[in-house]
Structure 1
């Protein structure tokens, strides 16, 4: 069973607290459970993580080098600032999907540049929870093909 690490960055744990806001009404716990259900359906061993700390995210990316076949990452605000996360991702040999709940290109100009995009195999943005589930399905196909 392929292992996928799905990393969520700062403030993702607050999803759903402002149902009229950018990220919708699904709580982080709901998003996690729906992703776990989808991963089980796809035959994927899913490690679903969230941290508000850049160093922790880097540690998880480095650990993924040992036993994960793919990484899905929503680095949230660190997407636009962290060269250190980019460097860690550059050392990962498998596919990397960048995933954002909102359409970052319809938001503030500083969100239009992602360091992660430089190493991402693909990018999904603006589809909310649906984007997370699509990322899992796409990653399942990629690691199933040995990409």
Structure 2
């Protein structure tokens, strides 16, 4: 089976250091280890990546079209600004989940709007690192349902 791409956007490389009251104390390496342990129980593999550059994220989404079975994306601030990521997610037509560590709806008003939400299968937010686990579980279900259909 093709891996699931877990894509992380800007500033997520600073997890554990940046605003731990909001984002928690886990580092991105901790989150990656959590994801790898969880997908092993689901029989999935992951390709886990982070970039602070919008174009690189777009390129990885394009790459996923041929090389992945689904996408979990925490686009960080690009969630609220990137038409390019929206268009890329629509173009690849893969099961996909937008995720966030914090509950974006309890935060600043500009974070309440996601340009990605209309382009993905579902959105998970507010569960800290467990948002990744929940997103991967949802992707597993979506991928399994696609195989049956």
TM-score by length of 2: 0.94
Let me know the Cα RMSD of the aligned residues: 1.3
Count of paired positions: 147
Give yes or no for contact 2:87–2:119 (8 Å, CA) kept in 1: no
Runs of 4+ off more than 2 Å: 18-21
Q: Give the distance between the partners of 2:28 and 2:76, measured in 1 at CA.
A: 13
TM-score by length of 1: 0.95
SS at match of 2:94: coil
Does the C-alpha gap of structure 1 residues 144 and 81 become closer, same or farther in structure 2, counting only changes over 3 Å?
same
Give yes or no for contact 2:5–2:68 (8 Å, CA) kept in 1: yes
More helix by share: 2
SS at match of 1:145: helix
Cα offset, 1:2, TM superposition: 4.0
SS at match of 1:124: strand
Partner of residue 78, structure 1? 78
Q: Give the distance between the partners of 2:2 and 2:55, measured in 1 at CA.
A: 25
Tell me, which stretches of 5 or more residues in structure 2 are unaligned? none
Cα offset, 1:21, TM superposition: 2.3
Tell me, which stretches of 5 or more residues in structure 1 are unaligned? none
Cα offset, 1:19, TM superposition: 6.7
SS at match of 2:52: coil
